[in-house]
Amino acid sequence: MRILIVEDEVHLAEALTQILKKQNYSVDAVHDGRSGLDYAQSGIYDLLLLDIMMPEMDGFTVLKKLRSGGISTPVIMLTAKGEITDMVAGLDYGADDYIAKPFSSEELMARIRAALRRKGEVIPDDTLKLGDMELNTANLRLSVKGKEIKLNLKENELLELLILRKQAVTSKEQIIEKLWGFDSEAEYNNVEVYISFLRKKLVFLNSEVRINTIRNVGYVLEVNR
């Protein structure tokens, strides 16, 4: 999962980044509303943590522009304010949740998990399933019929992306944007290397799931029963 933090308090943004990375999320952080809007419009994020009071563009305006532009990414509003009017406004503009500063890391993580569950992309025990394969995204373990192997973080992120897209073909461009970020210098061969790693591990586990290449398009998971 990739999360965007839009927060003008740099120290808070850095602390949130470290908390989320320890939970195996990929994280980007920006510190003004206009940059937040630009990043969020890329469509590569699974969730946004969005501050309200920011330079250049406030969080409410960012949220309204995203929703009017058809971006349905879950949004949790972050603010130092606790007034009911702000909470109502954020929810009316399309926020999925609202948390007032200061907050504990435990509360934040619980709200993030809840928002992602409502989106329908993860299940409560952090396990994704396809065919005979189970991927635990929390501990980076891939298992098939009791046989288990540990993945590295990028392998975990790539397999998670392919599972969540189900039968849709995922292009190399989409994989690079999702795993490395749209402004990264990652190239197609980076994707090919991790696809190769995952294929070998699926074969090692004797899984019925295969990563098929759709020529000149991308990759898709298929179950060969």
The DSSP annotation for 42-76 comes to T---SEEEEESS-SSS-HHHHHHHHHHTT----EE
What is the rounded CA–CA span in Å between residue 6 and residue 58?
10
CA torsion sign, 84 to 19 to 160 to 190?
A: positive
Q: Identify the band that residue 30 occupies on the pLDDT scale cut at 50, 70 and 90.
A: very high
Give the residue-averaged pLDDT of 133-137: 89
How much is the pTM? Answer: 0.62
- Residue pair 57/37 in contact (Cβ under 8 Å)? The answer is yes
pLDDT in tens, 60-112: 999 999 988 888 889 998 877 656 666 677 777 788 888 888 888 888 888 88
Cα separations in angstroms, 223 against 36, 133, 167: 38, 10, 10
Q: Distance between CA 96 and CA 112 in Å, rounded? A: 10
Q: What is the pLDDT of residue 53?
A: 87
